[in-house]
Amino acid sequence: MTKKVTTADFYIGVLLVNYNQWELTKKCVDSLLASNRVHLAIALIDNNSSEPTPDWVGETPQLIFHKNPTNEGLTAGNNKAFEMISNENVDYVLILNNDTEVYPDALLRLGSYLETHPGTGITAPAIPYAENPDIIWSAGGTYSNWRMFLQQNYKTVSDLPNHPVEMDQVTGCAIMMRPDDYKRAGMQNPELFVYFEDTDLCFNVKKLGLDIVLIPDAIVLHHVSISVGGVYSPFAIYFTHRNRYIVARKHLNFCQFSIFTLYYIAVTLLKTIIYPLRKAKDLVYWMWLGFSHAIRNRADLRPKALFPSEES
């Protein structure tokens, strides 16, 4: 694939990871292909889905496809996708969840701001719910270090400002960067697998002295998929609880980390009581396993019971 910018302002490499969600991924790809004034190279990674690869994957010229022999996670998937487009000489890379649909001018708006603002490392769109596009799922926000939590600034699309706004952090659901900045920021930690990889990346970008900016008139809809079983699945509970602490240890100063650790322990103890009351006592085990691995800084561990399809 060679760079072709005859009627396009930018050449954008899209990093896309699929796992058993071909229908949503097709909607995402179709929306990307409808983008205005950009040329695309879409690096699509499939993390060993049980479903067969659909015909449209091989029939889409803009796609560069790779199927992993095992589920390597979102982070390793994105890094592999970046490797696949590394020779394409793209202007920008878009890290994008596969359960999204982009508005036709979203990519152009994100790239245009980066083009004219060299001190910005990440541009991010406003992300409403696909099922309720007037309500914001995420649009950047203020980050609380002592809780390791992104507090959203806007609730509805009508609340959004009419100009770009610098943010503490943004969600990794849809972010655009220069390829060199993505490499300098360390890309994504493959050991995290999923969750808090965006927090880690945003901290790294800030450490480079670069800004993170919300482009509110760039819109990306989010279907909020349940590919990992939902936010109260054992999978989600384990990885969020583990990674939250591991990323905090990496980035917070001694005082911040000490306060966060007290908060983290308190939350763990509180949820040990709450989960059984909500008839979800099995989650207590996965939360404490995540706690154990986090305290020991063992991001390299991946419980086999969470990946039953890969067990021999």
pLDDT in tens, 175-191: 999 999 999 999 999 99
Q: Is the pLDDT of residue 96 over 70?
A: yes
Q: What is the pLDDT of residue 6?
A: 41
Q: Is the pLDDT of residue 312 over 80?
A: no
User: Which one-letter DSSP state was computed for residue 169?
Assistant: B
Domain ranges, ordered by start, for the chain: 10-222, 234-310
pLDDT in tens, 190-244: 999 999 999 999 999 999 999 999 999 999 999 985 555 567 899 999 999 999 9
Architecture of domain 10-222: Alpha-Beta Complex (3.90)
State the DSSP string of the chain.
-----SS-SEEEEEEEEESS-HHHHHHHHHHHHT-SSEEEEEEEEE---SSPPPHHHHT-TTEEEEE-SS--HHHHHHHHHHHHTTTS--SEEEEE-TTEEE-TTHHHHHHHHHHH-TTEEEEEEEEEBSSSTTBEEE--EEEETTTTEEEES-SBGGGS-SS-EE-SB--TTEEEE-HHHHHHTT---GGG-SSSHHHHHHHHHHHTT-EEEEEEEEEEEE----TTS-TTSHHHHHHHHHHHHHHHHHHS-HHHHHHHHHHHHHHHHHHHHHHHHTT-THHHHHHHHHHHHHHTT-TT---GGG-GGG--
Q: What is the pLDDT of residue 100?
A: 97
pLDDT in tens, 41-82: 999 999 999 999 999 999 999 999 999 999 999 999 999 999
Average pLDDT, the chain: 94
Question: What share of the chain has pLDDT > 70, as a percent?
Answer: 94
Question: What share of the chain has pLDDT > 90, as a percent?
Answer: 92
Q: What is the pLDDT of residue 2?
A: 39
Q: What is the pLDDT of residue 224?
A: 81
Q: What is the pLDDT of residue 8?
A: 66
Euclidean distance between CA atoms 258 and 5, whole angstroms: 51
Q: Which residue from 130, 153, 152 is spatially nearest to 219, judged by alpha carbons?
A: 130
Q: Is the pLDDT of residue 3 over 80?
A: no
pLDDT in tens, 275-290: 999 999 999 999 999 9
Report CA torsion sign: 208, 213, 219, 225: positive
Q: What is the pLDDT of residue 1?
A: 41
Q: Is the pLDDT of residue 110 over 90?
A: yes
